A and B are shown apart, each in its own frame.
Chain A
Amino acid sequence: MNPSRAAIAIAAMAVGALSLLPFAYLFAAGMSTEAIGKLFTYPTTAGDIIRTVGLTLSVSAVCVVVGVGAALLLVRTTIPFRKLLTVLLAMPLAIPGFVAAYAAYSANLMFAPRTNIVTTFAGATAIIALTLYPYVFLAGIVAVRNLDPAQEEVARSLGTRPVAVFWRITVPQLRPAIASSVLIVALHVLAEYGAMVQLRQRTLTTTIMANMLDYGDYEAARSLSLLLAGLAFVLLVGGRLLTGRAHRQSIGSQTVRPPTRARLGRAHLAVLVAALVVPLLALGPTVYMTIHGLTSPHRQLVVNWAEVLQAARVSLTYAVWAGLLASVVALPVAWWVSRHPSPWSNLTERSVWLAHAIPGAILALALVFLATRLLPGLYKTPSLLVIAYVILYLPLAVANQRVGLHAALTKYDEAAASLGSGAWQRLRRVSLPIALPGLATGALLVGLDASKELTTTLMLLPFNTQTLATGLWATTNGESLDFTAASPYAVMLLALGSIPVYLIMRRTVRYIV
């Protein structure tokens, strides 16, 4: 192993170890298997665990169907208004999950007060999936565009029916490409708190939070977090087995031709309307409730726009720092695992994902515990909060950097090496520029998620500071979202969130036109 490769490996392993640091807290602060054992004596526990697993699977499944379906529609058919549709379909990324859930719940109460639509398992699945499918959609567009049409053509020319071509050629090629995004969705579901409570779904995470907030039973909360981490571990290992290895057999040149688009003919309008239903359902309740709140005739509260703008500036600053720092920290991990796959590099990459699955409040407590003991100077400074965001959202950076590094084919790297170029030089002059779009997407997604984060932020935020998410939360009095007082913050969150969504989509849109 040459020295620079060793340096990258060591850096990557250090990052992996650091992201496991929150788990050190779980052990240091004390846990008990007794608490876990006791949990199983309660009648609802089995149901809650089944519901946790069920929601994880159902939301992931809906996200795959909607995300990949939308990507296929935009890349492989002649559907009109493709640019507009792409941006609309990605926009739900800008809405925090708990806000979307509150809005859906409020809309349910407003229009059908005596029905339970959003609080059923199916309703909750739909609401949560509608906030998360864009992750799969984004990866799906790139993956569908990179499909080699030659393989499908060969299969068809051999007499294979279109449906069989889809299942036997198209799907296996897509699977590894969207695997990371599905994992991101699944881990989001496992750690989701606010939306689950509002949609009346009891999961392991809501149980952990109830133990913390309603009972002050932190030992039980920590013990259950370990159980949750175990579940995430199974998911991470299982996810790998399920997706298998990336295999790209290509026919002829490496360049992928533009796709052949299925003609929709007279179905144009019907398909367009059907495609519009998804963003309408995902954005509609939040936008409607926000506008309703802002234009309420009984409005008595005076909006302090200076405070809202200040919160927006704070959110933006933290988000930019989190995006940049996460990108730097993720790079050795992404590089190592995509260039030198080995059990060690894979293990390192997986450990980065694990912290993504524990509830934000537990991660925050871990950082409170560790920072006050190890780095007291950092406590209650923006730095510690940015570090928390980096630990939480590192997988988003790693996953997207891998896509970018995948595009920067090893061949180019080898060609440069054969011309005598050193490792750092190759990284700087060959791979990095080609991988830049993937890197940028990763940074933007980290920044976006950081600006929406609530539970960790509440605990680690410097004194007397608000982000848009905590400012919005402060208007709830810890209970139901009052869309009158909250709407200025919601408007700013949406406005701020649509910037990274637009930047990401600007890159992606060229895949579909």
Chain B
Amino acid sequence: MSRSGLRLRVTTAIAGAVALLTVTAGCSSSPSSEPGATGSDAATTLTVYTDQHAALVKGLTGAYTKQTGVTFDIQQDATVGQIQAEGDASPADLFLSEDPAPVAQLGKAGLLEPIEASTVAQVQPGLSSPQDLWVAYAARARVLYYNPELIDEADLPKTLLTITDPQYKGKFAYAPSGAFVATTQYLISTIGLDASTDFLKKVKANGVNEQKNGNVRDTVEAGKHAMGLSNHYYWWIKAAEVGGPEHMTSKIYHFPETDPGNLVLSSGAAILKNSTHKDAAAKFVQWLTSKDGGQQILSSGDIDTSGAQYPVALGTSSELVGALSDIASPTYDMSIYADQSQAQDLLKSLGITT
């Protein structure tokens, strides 16, 4: 190849790259502002850190933007670690968690601004921080999935602790997810370390570790396992995927009496001490937990925006999954999840997680 030919190709390559960058430069995103919104908050942008399902947060914040003009910067898949690594420079105004552990940890680390008592009072008691450090805005319940082709409902265990009975050996799946760790921490705080150790040893011996809640759901649905310990909403998400609950083979089972197998875990809203928009953040949290605000979205039958979570405001219920008050969960202080090192040590030393 001649030198001029080579030079031409070099030039073409560079020109191509520059052209590409010019074409794609348009996506240096400009913050979206909703036209037509009025009020003193209209210019405010709240920075939300969240590990909650993306569609749910988008639905909630989107509705609030429409009503008030307040816009949001959203950090998906946020962790307490990211906020700690950011230190004083953290831009986060709010944290919307999926499980209680992250907000409980932030509270314990002294990073949270207390929530107004009137806001906490909108929510069913027992779901939020007793010190009002964070407030529940949604909730999920631990459940047992079962495949009726493999086991009759009447033959299912009556309590979580009896799932390790010999007749269920090899028949159930579990996943050491965050909610499983939480259940373990709850058991340690109620039945003690020895009994919890005993139970988990049998879970490991008799059950199949499917690693993720989604896998537990899919394997029970596919008939690989007769039963599986998981969270309620995964089943509803799958049901929406296949065209409705009537197309599902597997079913959801709640243990009949008040039981740790029905454990309710709150999704918490918290305001960071470092926030530069505390008033606007407080207003948003108040709307989020109000029956006429965010709770309306959580109550709706639209799974894309409600995520099939339970609403938590007094007197609310979900058109899809029902009322949280129907779940026979023990009432307890979710601040226990600020420090889960006992559960962590136990699960690690049993080799259930690493």
Residue of chain A at shortest CB distance from B105:
A216
Contact A218-B81, Cβ < 8 Å, known A44-B351, A317-B24: yes
Please indicate the chain B residues that have their CB under 8 angstroms from the CB of A301 in the complex.
240, 304
Contact check: which of A43, A198, A300 meets B240 at CB < 8 Å? A300
Cβ–Cβ contact A29 & B85, under 8 A: yes
Interface residues of chain B: helix, strand, loop or mixed (majority)? helix
- How far is A300 from B304 in the complex, measured between Cα atoms in Å? 10
Q: How many residues of A contact B (CB 8 A)?
A: 73
Would you call A152 an interface residue if the criterion is a C-beta within 8 Å of the partner chain's C-beta atoms? no
Interface string of A453-470 (1 = CB under 8 A from B): 000001101111100001
Q: Using known A-B contacts A43-B349, A300-B240, A436-B13, determine if residue A218 contacts B29 with beta carbons closer than 8 Å.
A: no
User: Interface readout for B10-41 with A: 1 if CB under 8 Å, 0 if not?
Assistant: 10010001001100111111011000000000
Instruction: Return chain B residues, CB-CB under 8 Å to A73.
Output: none
State the CA gap A307–B195 with chains docked (Å): 51
Query: For window 213-235 of chain B, which residues contact chain A by CB distance below 8 Å?
Result: 213-215, 217-219, 222-224, 234
CB distance A382 to B351 under 8 Å? no
Asked if residues B89 and A382 are in contact (CB atoms below 8 Å), the reply is: no
Distance between A116 CB and nearest chain B CB, rounded to angstroms:
9
A428 to B7 Cα, complex, angstroms: 10
B47: interface (CB < 8 Å): yes
Cβ–Cβ < 8 Å partners of A109 in chain B: 218-219, 222, 224
**A313 to B240, alpha carbons, bound, how many Å?**
29
The reply to whether B218 and A462 form a contact with Cβ atoms under 8 Å apart is no
B76 contacts partner chain A, Cβ-Cβ < 8 Å:
yes
The answer to whether A321 touches B27 (Cβ under 8 A) is no
In the complex, which of the residues B214, B223, B341, B344 contacts A480, with contact meaning CB atoms closer than 8 Å?
A: B214
A295 at the interface (CB under 8 A from B): no
Nearest B residue to A109 by beta-carbon distance?
Answer: B222
CB of A214 within 8 Å of the partner chain? yes
In the complex, A13 has a CB within 8 A of chain B: no
Interface string of A74-95 (1 = CB under 8 A from B): 0000000000000000000000
Q: Which of B28, B76, B234, B304 has a CB less than 8 Å from the CB of A382?
A: B28
Interfacial chain A residues near B55, Cβ < 8 Å = 474
Q: Quick check: B76 and A470 within 8 Å, CB to CB? A: yes
B82 at the interface (CB under 8 A from A): yes
- A465 surroundings in chain B (CB, below 8 A): 29
A197 — which chain B residues lie within 8 A by C-beta? Answer: 211-212
Q: Is the CB of A114 within 8 A of B177?
A: no
Interface centre among A48, A216, A476 (most CB of B within 10 A): A216
B354 and A214: CB pair below 8 A?
A: no
Looking at the complex, which one of A48, A215, A440 makes contact with B181 (CB distance below 8 Å)?
A: A215
Segment at the interface with B among A131-139, A350-358, A364-372, A416-424: A364-372
**Chain A residue at minimal CB-CB distance from B57:** A474
Could you say which residues of chain A place their CB within 8 Å of the CB of B209? 200
Pick from B158-166, B241-249, B315-323 the stretch touching chain A. B241-249
Residue B333 at the chain A interface, CB threshold 8 Å:
no
Closest CB of chain A to B93's CB: distance in Å?
12
Pick the interface stretch among A58-66, A175-183, A202-210.
A202-210
Given contacts A42-B354, A215-B344, A465-B29, whether A376 and B81 have CB atoms under 8 Å apart is no
CA distance A452 to B53 in the complex (A): 21
Judged by a CB distance under 8 angstroms, whether B80 is at the interface is yes
Known contacts A436-B9, A463-B73, A479 near B82 by CB under 8 Å:
no
Nearest CB on A from B211, distance (A): 5
Q: Are B212 and A324 in contact (CB under 8 A)?
A: no
Within the complex, the shortest CB–CB distance from A264 to chain B, in Å, comes to 33
User: Cα distance A470–B76 when bound, in Å?
Assistant: 9
What chain A residues lie within 8 Å of B222 (beta carbons)?
109-110, 113-114
Question: B180 → chain A, closest Cβ, in Å?
Answer: 9
> Contact at B348–A310, with CB atoms within 8 Å?
no
At the interface, yes or no: B237 with Cβ under 8 Å from chain A? Answer: yes
**Quick one: which of B6, B238, B348 has the most chain A CB within 10 A?**
B348
Total interface residues in chain B, CB < 8 Å: 80
Q: A464 to B241, Cβ gap below 8 A?
A: no
Q: A313: which B residues are within 8 A, CB to CB? A: 24, 26-27
Judged by a CB distance under 8 angstroms, whether B84 is at the interface is yes
A373 part of interface (Cβ distance < 8 Å) = yes
Within 8 A of A (CB), among B81-112: 81-82, 84-87, 89-91, 98, 101-102, 105
B187 within 8 A of A: no
Residue of B with least CB distance to A222: B81
B340 interface residue per 8 A CB criterion: yes
Task: Let me know if B85 and A372 touch, CB within 8 A.
Answer: yes
Report if B130 contacts A (CB, 8 A). Answer: no
Docked-complex contact B74 and A464, CB < 8 angstroms: yes
Given that A109-B219, A314-B27, A480-B215 are contacting pairs, would A212 and B79 also be in contact in the complex, using a CB cutoff of 8 Å? yes
What's the nearest-Cβ distance from chain A to residue B268, in Å? 14
CB < 8 Å neighbour of B53 from A43, A368, A459, A477: A477
Whole-angstrom distance from the CB of B208 to the nearest CB of chain A?
9
A463 to B215 Cα, complex, angstroms:
30
Q: Which of B240-265 contact A (CB under 8 A)?
A: 240-244, 247
- Beta-carbon nearest neighbor of B180 in chain A: A214
Q: Which residues of B contact A128 (CB under 8 A)?
A: none
CB A213 to nearest CB in B, in angstroms, measures 7
Contact status B81-A210, CB under 8 Å: no
A206 and B354 in contact, given A214-B181, A216-B101 (Cβ under 8 angstroms): yes
Interface residues of A in 103-141 (CB under 8 A from B): 105-106, 109-110, 113-114
Partner of A433, one of B6, B47, B101: B6
Beyond known contacts A369-B87, A463-B75: 16 more, CB 8 A cutoff: A44-B348, A45-B354, A109-B218, A206-B354, A212-B79, A213-B79, A214-B177, A216-B101, A300-B241, A316-B20, A368-B82, A372-B87, A379-B89, A436-B10, A464-B31, A477-B237
Chain A residues in the interface with B (C-beta under 8 A): 29, 41-45, 48, 105-106, 109-110, 113-114, 197-198, 200, 202, 206-207, 210, 212-218, 221, 296-298, 300-301, 310, 313-314, 316-317, 320-321, 324, 365, 368-369, 372-373, 376, 379-380, 382, 432-433, 436, 440, 458-459, 461-465, 470, 473-480, 482, 484-485
Ranked 3 nearest A-B pairs via Cβ: A480-B214, A298-B243, A479-B214
**Between-chain CB contacts (< 8 Å), 22 pairs:** A42-B349, A43-B351, A105-B215, A114-B224, A200-B209, A215-B181, A216-B101, A313-B24, A316-B24, A317-B24, A320-B20, A368-B86, A372-B86, A433-B6, A458-B76, A459-B79, A463-B75, A464-B74, A476-B214, A480-B214, A480-B215, A484-B241
